[in-house]
Structure formats: structure tokens, C-alpha cells
Amino acid sequence: MEKRIAIVLFLLAIFVLITGCNSNNLKGYKLEITESSWSGWSEDYKPEEVTKTYEIEKDKEYKVDNGGLIFTIKEINKDNIIIETKESYSDSENGIDLRTEKKEFSVSIDKTTKLTTQTMDAGDIYYLKLVK
């Protein structure tokens, strides 16, 4: 009886290790980033938007927009990644939060994460999402 319990516990431990520690949960997905900008100086301002895709790699440092956005992927989860930026960005849905010190953001499969530089007159916007 004890031998059976030991075997079941061993198999359960192997199963948990295989399924719970898999960092390739987002296999086939890439990180898509659209670079944009905004300006309060001109009513007719039309930003030039550039979209690029990146391979998802944990602990790799990414530089977007010639270093305008620098971040590292800290976690790769089942349906999202967690990034940490060098500078703080606003991800508020109610305008730009000028006082935020937030540097950690979640990027999901089903939702675009919008990061905006903390300025009042003009700035950069980065739209991040996971795509197949």
C-alpha cells in the first residue's frame, strides 16, 4: 500500500512539474508593438505609426523606437506576459497619469496594453499585444 501511494505521489509531482513550470505557454505567439505619438500643439496632428513584432524571450532586454521604450520580459504566463520598463509610463484609461511611478505591466492575448509617456504637451504612445 505504501509503495502505491509513493508511486502516485511521484507521478503527481512529475505531472505538476511538466505542466506548471512550462515557460512556453505562449508558444507561437509574438509581442506586437505599435509605436505612435500625440501632440497638444496642433489640432491636425497625425502621428506616423510603426508596428513591429518581437519574439517572446524571458529576461531579454528590448529597445523599441531607438530606445524610447526599453523593457524586459519578467514573466511568461499562460495568457499574458509581465514586462518591466526602465522608465515609468502611464497605462491609465482615463487620460495620462502624470504622477505614476509604474514600471511593471501585463500584456495579454485578449487586450491591448497602452503605455504613454508622462507629458502634458506631446509624447509617445506604445500599444502592446500578443499575437499569433
On the question of pLDDT at 80 being above 60, the answer is: yes
Report field, pTM of the whole predicted structure over 0.85: no
Degrees to nearest 5, angle at CA 111 with 109 and 114: 120
Three-class HEC string of 62-120: EEECCCCEEEEEEEECCCEEEEEECCCCECCCCCCCCCCCCCEEEEECCCCEEEECCCC
On the question of pLDDT at 92 being above 80, the answer is: yes
Q: Which residues lie below 8 Å from residue 14, measured CB to CB, with a gap of 6+?
A: none
On the question of pLDDT at 77 being above 90, the answer is: yes
